[in-house]
Structure 1
Amino acid sequence: MRNGKPTQTTPSNSDTIQARSGRRRRRPVAQLLSVLVTAVLTAATATPALAVFNGSRADSDDYAWAVRVQLAYPEGVASCTGSLIKEDTVVTAAHCIRNNGRSPSAIDVTFHYGQKRDQYTIGVARAVPMPHYDPALIKDDIALLFLQSAVSEPTIGLASTPAPVGAEVTVAGFGCTGDPFKAVEPCDAPRRLIETQLTTVPSASCPDIAGPWQFCTYSPYTSANRGDSGGPVIWSDHGEQKLVGVTNAIELPPAPAYLNLSASIPYELDWIRATAGLR
Structure 2
Amino acid sequence: MAFLWIISCLAFVSAAYGCGTPAIPPQVSGYARIVNGEEAVPHSWPWQVSLQQSNGFHFCGGSLINENWVVTAAHCNVRTYHRVVAGEHDKGYGSNEDVQVLKPAKVFTHPRWNPRTINNDITLIKLASPARLGTNVSPVCIAESTDVFADGMTCVTSGWGLTRYNAPSTPNKLQQAALPLLSNEQCKRHWGSNISDVMICAGGAGATSCMGDSGGPLVCEKNNTWTLVGIVSWGSSRCSTSTPAVYARVTELRGWVDQILAAN
Instruction: Give the TM bin, normalised by the shorter chain.
Output: 0.7 to 0.9
Percent of aligned positions that are identical: 23
Displacement of 1:122 after TM fit? 1.0
Letter in 2 for 1:130: H
Compared with structure 1, are the counterparts of its residues 256 and 64 closer, same or farther at alpha carbon in structure 2 (3 Å cutoff)? closer
The aligned residue for residue 87 of structure 2 is 112
The aligned residue for residue 5 of structure 2 is 34
The aligned residue for residue 191 of structure 1 is 172
Displacement of 1:105 after TM fit? 6.5
Structure 2 segments unaligned to the other structure (5+ residues) = 9-32
**TM-score scaled by length of structure 2:** 0.77
Is contact 2:180-2:205 (8 Å) kept?
no
The aligned residue for residue 11 of structure 1 is none
Displacement of 1:56 after TM fit? 1.3
Between the aligned partners of 1:255 and 1:65, the Cα distance in structure 2 is: 27
The aligned residue for residue 151 of structure 1 is 131
Is contact 1:93-1:230 (8 Å) kept?
yes
Is contact 2:158-2:216 (8 Å) kept?
yes
The aligned residue for residue 56 of structure 1 is 38
Q: What's the secondary structure of 1:127's corresponding residue?
A: strand
Compared with structure 1, are the counterparts of its residues 205 and 164 closer, same or farther at alpha carbon in structure 2 (3 Å cutoff)? farther
The aligned residue for residue 170 of structure 1 is 156
Any residues of structure 2 matched to 1:197-236 within 5 Å, and which?
197-203=178-184, 204-207=188-191, 209-236=194-221
Structure 1 segments unaligned to the other structure (5+ residues) = 1-19, 22-31, 38-50, 98-102
Q: What's the secondary structure of 1:272's corresponding residue?
A: helix
Letter in 2 for 1:218: G
Letter in 2 for 1:165: D
The aligned residue for residue 245 of structure 2 is 260
Displacement of 1:77 after TM fit? 5.3
Q: Is 2:86 aligned against 1:86?
A: no
Letter in 1 for 2:169: D
Is contact 1:218-1:259 (8 Å) kept?
yes
Between the aligned partners of 1:141 and 1:162, the Cα distance in structure 2 is: 20
Is contact 2:163-2:170 (8 Å) kept?
no
Displacement of 1:67 after TM fit? 0.4
Letter in 1 for 2:244: L
Is contact 1:162-1:264 (8 Å) kept?
no
Displacement of 1:220 after TM fit? 3.1
Match of 2:236 among 223, 229, 251: 251
Q: Superposition RMSD on alpha carbons, in Å?
A: 2.5
Q: What's the secondary structure of 1:277's corresponding residue?
A: helix
Listed one character per residue, the Cα deviations across residues 134-171 of structure 1 (whole Å, up to 9, x for unaligned) are 01111000100111100122110011224221111101
Listed one character per residue, the Cα deviations across residues 80-130 of structure 1 (whole Å, up to 9, x for unaligned) are 000000111100000001xxxxx6462111112225231231111111111
Between the aligned partners of 2:72 and 2:42, the Cα distance in structure 1 is: 19
Between the aligned partners of 1:254 and 1:173, the Cα distance in structure 2 is: 14
